Amino acid sequence: MSEAAANQASESYLSSGWRIRDWLLTTDHKRVAWLYTISITAFFFLGGLAALVIRLELMTPDGDVVSADAYNQLFTIHGVVMVWFFLIPSIPNTLGNFLLPLMVGAKDLAFPKLNLISWYIYTVGGLFTIAAVITSGVDTGWTFYTPYSTQFADRAVVAALTGVFVVGFSSIATGINFIVTTHKMRAPGLTWFRLPLFVWANYATSLVMVLATPVLSATLILLILERMMGIGIFDPALGGDPILFQHLFWFYSHPAVYIMILPGMGVVSELITCFSRKTVFGYHGMALSILAISVFGFLVWGHHMFVSGQSLYAGLMFSLFSFFVALPSAIKTFNWTATLYKGKLIFSAVMIYALSFVGLFTIGGFTGIFLASLAVDVHVHDTYFVVAHFHYIMVGSMVTAYIGGLHFWWPKMTGRMYPELWAKVAALALFIGFNLTFFPQYLMGYAGMPRRYQTYPEDFQILHVMSSLGAGVLAIGYLLPLVYLLWSLRWGKRAPPNPWRAAGLEWRTDSPPPKHNFLEPQTVTGPPYDYDTIDNK
Amino acid sequence: MTTTPSTTSKAVPDEQFDDLTQQRQAVLMGMWIFLATELMLFGGIFTAFTVYRFAYPDVFAEAATHLDLKLGTLNTVLLVTSSLFMALAERAVNAERRRLTLTFLLVTISIGVIFLGIKGYEWHHEYTEKLMPILGLEFIYPGANPDRAEMFFNFYYVLTGLHAVHMSMGLVMLTVLVVFTMRWRDPPRLGRQIQINGLYWAFVDVVWVFIFTTQYLLRA
Ligand code: HEM
Ligand SMILES: [Cu+2]
């Protein structure tokens, strides 16, 4: 290699090219990761804004901030944006996109163009849906239940459905890309059981994306056709069954909740080992339980339908399987704590995020078991108890993991360090604000407060006010990182290649990495998370 | 899944790959996974169909007799034949026989177009028989339980329509391949492209066989 060529190759991916097309037409997985990061951040704060108005409204028992219709539209916007446009792409398409090739020692994903196209599909579909939902009155909630969506709701629901349908293709594209990359592009010596758990998690997530998303696509097509062309598949007047919609919907959407947590589990596994300076406890169990969750996840959708009128025997089976799916989740939780045990813990901001994840996931998972118990669910179904359950998992765990991961890999992605003290403040604000927001929701749900209501009896007001105040604290926890992370881009200290002395191929290259990730081809000779060796060097 | 022809020298893999074998395997695997997603897509709709087929067995079996079995059979034969030519095209390109590849591709396309023509004729026929309950069109069903029968036709149009969309996408891709074959810049690469498109075409074929069985053949 001539010297000029060598210089060019070692130039960081960030310094090569800052024309608009260098970004909008890039096929570099690291740049596409940034495109995604920008999009999902915008969606996150949009969805968050809707949530804040909802919480404001719920400060008082009467409907006094917005109209009843507007309230319904608000929780629809919130749910649609957060689930479809934030959580599903969140970790896989940002951190996953950036890290997967680095972690397997590849130059890029297997299909870089497809990766870029997926971002366009996602962004255009997302914006289209938002426009449809905001300019009209879609008020179905994120679940689009029939017959409401097909026969009564505002016609703009078709536009919203189309947008979600389109975004599905970006999930599928990502899934295909990740699976093929993991199978075919690992560095020499990087056997399956030497892969970082983050890779395992994204791999399992991709399996779910690839196998479940198309069923959602089919379901959405049927809804759209019913609404647009009168091809009634769920229409009771033709002998159709609206409950069939729920079956198809949850066949996707239960596995999809694992799309919304597995990547978080992957992130946290990386963070905890690094800041315990110990190898992951029970690595094989961790990897296999990720796979087990993604497989069992396909067998439990009926636990969303215990009171829908599905057969009692079906309910029993779904209840049982839901307990089974909690087993691998529990294995993971025990293994995280066992990793901490006798570790040399470092309470950095990243570690606070990781520990928050474990605690909040435990609570969310436990209450999942309550809900999976047939008899208990009859009582708490469609109450705030359910709302609290899934927010503990999707927000308390997944969003926390995402932000924690963003901090952990920030030096790698940007070449800059963030201010540790502010990060600690933000992490604590998040933990406190989150619990204040959502723990009261368990209590009020158990006491009978139904979800999706704008007004409520006065008895619930104290709990609702606590929850709303908590949401304020939580918002600070989310806004702070936005500020200081952006600040660090310019004023942060320059990051060395491996600021945390972490294991993993991604730390062997520069921060930020060169365009093709590594200057020399990488080989792997030992197990992952070999912290003993690293620390004794 | 890249379909752009390479203009650079021949035996070089795309920049993310180490060598051509890796690239070939990756692309093939990508296509297989994509087909798995397609399977799940149609699978969802077939599942819904199965539910109603069991719920209303007699009405559905009776409704199926209103479809044109002869044309359906003809179309099945045509599509299977087209898959044969697609497979031949793959052979031809691997043997670096440009004209032959071109011929086989064009035959495949022609059969595909004829298939869609026949399908369109069938739909038109059903339309004139007032068996097309779409967009508020009148649905006049001569047998018992017209509402349940309407459900059957709803599935028929969803499945055949979705299949026709897939056929059309396949035809577009085949047309692109025809252009590539005429240019003949990088035959090994073209061979890979024809191979993965052939997989897709075969899949569309298999889906049709399922549609044919469940819609036309399960009749009273
Ligand atoms: C530990 C295993 C889990 C079990 C046993 C479980 C169980 C349940 C059950 C039974 C329900 C239905 C409650 C009802 O509607 O009455 C439910 C709702 C829900 N769960 Fe979980 N869950 C688990 C983990 C998760 C995870 C990991 C997520 C997301 C990342 C999640 C997200 C949700 C959501 C979004 C809903 C409500 C959907 C809606 O109606 O809008 N759950 N869960
Ligand atoms: Cu579920």
Q: What ipTM describes this predicted complex?
A: 0.93
Percent of chain B predicted with pLDDT > 90: 87
For residue B22, which amino acid is it? Answer: Q
Residues of A with Cβ-Cβ distance to B1 under 8 angstroms: 111, 114
**Tokens standing for residue A68:** 């009843």
- The residue of chain B nearest to residue A207, with distances taken between CA atoms, is B33
CA-nearest residue, atom 14 of ligand 1: A381
Residue A217 structural domain? 29-234+242-509
To the nearest 10 degrees (0 to 180), the angle between helices A262-276 and A283-296 is 170
Cα–Cα distance for residue pair A67/A322, rounded to 1 Å: 38
pLDDT bracket for residue A135 (50, 70, 90): confident
Total domain count, chain A? 1
Residues near A453 by beta carbon (within 8 Å), at least 6 away in sequence: none
Radius of gyration (C-alpha) of chain A in whole angstroms: 23
pLDDT at A484: 97
pLDDT at A1: 45
- The residue of chain A nearest to residue B47, with distances taken between CA atoms, is A248
Q: What is the DSSP string of A41-91?
A: HHHHHHHHHHHHHHHHHTTSSS--SS-HHHHHHHHHHHHIIIIIIIITTHH
- CA B135, distance to chain mean position in Å, is 25
Residues paired with A514 in a beta bridge: A12
| Helix ranges (DSSP H) in A260-342 | 262-276, 283-296, 312-340
Which of A181, A213, A231 is nearest residue B134 as measured by Cβ atoms? A231
Which of B33, B51, B147 is nearest residue A179 as measured by Cβ atoms? B33
CATH number of the domain to which A66 belongs: 1.20.210.10
- CA B122, distance to chain mean position in Å, is 17
Residues paired with A12 in a beta bridge: A514
Asked if residue A4 has pLDDT above 80, the reply is no
Q: What is the mean pLDDT of residues A306-317?
A: 92
Please tell me the distance between residue A304's alpha carbon and the centre of ligand 2 in angstroms: 6
Residues of A with Cβ-Cβ distance to B43 under 8 angstroms: 214-215, 218
Q: Do A184 and B25 touch (CB under 8 A)?
A: yes
8 A C-beta contact, residue A516 and residue A108: yes
Which of A176, A231, A521 is nearest residue B154 as measured by Cβ atoms? A231
Residues of A with Cβ-Cβ distance to B38 under 8 angstroms: 214
For residue A147, which amino acid is it? Answer: P
Which of B34, B47, B151 is nearest residue A239 as measured by Cβ atoms? B151
Nearest CA to B165 among A1, A254, A217? A217
Please tell me the distance between residue A392's alpha carbon and the centre of ligand 1 in angstroms: 10
Asked if residue B160 has pLDDT above 50, the reply is yes
CA distances from A334 to A102, A281, A282, A340, B97 (A): 28, 9, 10, 10, 62
The dihedral built from the CA positions of residue B196, B198, B200 and B206, taken in this order, carries a sign that is negative
Position of tokens 């749910």?
A79
- Is A213 in CB contact (< 8 Å) with chain B? yes
Q: Do A214 and B37 touch (CB under 8 A)?
A: yes
CA-nearest residue, atom 36 of ligand 1: A390
Cβ–ligand 1 distance for A373 under 6 Å, the answer no
Q: What is the mean pLDDT of residues A516-520?
A: 92
Mutation to probe ligand 1, out of A205, A376, A386 (largest number of atoms < 8 A from CB): A386
How far off is chain B from A166, nearest CA to CA, in Å? Answer: 14
Cα–Cα distance for residue pair B79/A323, rounded to 1 Å: 47
Nearest CA to A257 among A398, A154, A116? A398
DSSP state letter for A187: P
Asked if residue A8 has pLDDT above 80, the reply is no
Q: Do B41 and A215 touch (CB under 8 A)?
A: yes
pLDDT for B57-97, tens place per residue?
A: 999 999 999 999 999 999 999 999 999 999 999 999 999 99
Cα–Cα distance for residue pair A128/A163, rounded to 1 Å: 6
Residues of A with Cβ-Cβ distance to B154 under 8 angstroms: 231-233, 238
Q: What is the DSSP string of chain B?
A: ---SPP-S-TTPPPTT-SSHHHHHHHHHHHHHHHHHHHHHHHHHHHHHHHHHHHHSHHHHHHHHTTS-HHHHHHHHHHHHHHHHHHHHHHHHHHTT-HHHHHHHHHHHHHHHHHHHHHHHHHHHHHHHTTB---TT--B--SSS-HHHHHHHHHHHHHHHHHHHHHHHHHHHHHHHHHHHHHH-S-HHHHHHHHHHHHHHHHHHHHHHHHHIIIIIIS--
Residue A314 domain flag:
yes
How far off is chain B from A8, nearest CA to CA, in Å? Answer: 15
Asked if residue A345 has pLDDT above 90, the reply is yes
Q: What is the mean pLDDT of residues B90-115?
A: 97
Residue A362 domain flag:
yes
Asked if residue B7 has pLDDT above 50, the reply is no
Domains and CATH numbers, chain B: 33-217 (1.20.120.80)
Q: What is the mean pLDDT of residues A80-100?
A: 96
pLDDT for B24-52, tens place per residue?
A: 999 999 999 999 999 999 999 999 999 99
Q: Which ligand places an atom closest to the C-alpha of A398?
A: 1
Residue A18 domain flag:
no
pLDDT bracket for residue B9 (50, 70, 90): very low
Considering chain B, what is the average pLDDT of its residues? Answer: 93
- Residue B138 backbone dihedrals phi, psi, to 5 degrees: -65, 140
CA-nearest residue, atom 32 of ligand 1: A390
**Tokens standing for residue A242:** 């609206």
- Is A338 in CB contact (< 8 Å) with chain B? no
8 A C-beta contact, residue A5 and residue A515: no
Considering chain A, what is the average pLDDT of its residues? Answer: 94
A115, A184, A310: best mutation site toward chain B, by most B Cβ within 10 Å?
A: A184
Residues 160-199 of A with CB under 8 A from B: 172, 175-177, 179-181, 183-185
Position of tokens 């810049």?
B185
| H or E element that contains A469 | helix A461-491
Residues near A306 by beta carbon (within 8 Å), at least 6 away in sequence: A315, A318, A319, A374, A377, A378, A381
Residue A402 domain flag:
yes
Q: Which atom of ligand 1 is nearest to the CA of A83?
A: 35
Residue A144 domain flag:
yes
Q: What is the mean pLDDT of residues A54-61?
A: 97
Q: Which atom of ligand 1 is nearest to the CA of A261?
A: 30
pLDDT for A418-439, tens place per residue?
A: 999 999 999 999 999 999 999 9
Query: Helix, strand or coil for residue A456?
Result: coil
Residues paired with A494 in a beta bridge: A416
- CA A240, distance to chain mean position in Å, is 34
Asked if residue A483 has pLDDT above 60, the reply is yes
Q: Do A222 and B151 touch (CB under 8 A)?
A: no
Cα–Cα distance for residue pair A218/A215, rounded to 1 Å: 5
**What residues of B are in the A interface, CB distance below 8 Å?**
1-2, 15-18, 22, 25-26, 29-30, 33-34, 36-45, 47-48, 51-52, 55-56, 133-136, 147-148, 150-151, 154-155, 157-158, 162
Cβ–ligand 1 distance for A390 under 6 Å, the answer yes
Residue A534 domain flag:
no
pLDDT at A16: 78
Residue A54 domain flag:
yes
The dihedral built from the CA positions of residue A163, A166, A172 and A178, taken in this order, carries a sign that is negative
8 A C-beta contact, residue A469 and residue A495: no
Count of CB atoms situated within 10 Å of the CB of A320: 14
Q: What is the mean pLDDT of residues A239-248?
A: 92
Which of B22, B26, B40 is nearest residue A211 as measured by Cβ atoms? B40
- The residue of chain B nearest to residue A246, with distances taken between CA atoms, is B48
Percent of chain A predicted with pLDDT > 70: 99
CA-nearest residue, atom 7 of ligand 1: A368
Q: Do A180 and B135 touch (CB under 8 A)?
A: no
| Helix ranges (DSSP H) in A312-419 | 312-340, 349-372, 374-380, 384-391, 400-414
pLDDT at A237: 87
pLDDT bracket for residue A310 (50, 70, 90): confident
Cα–Cα distance for residue pair A129/A156, rounded to 1 Å: 10
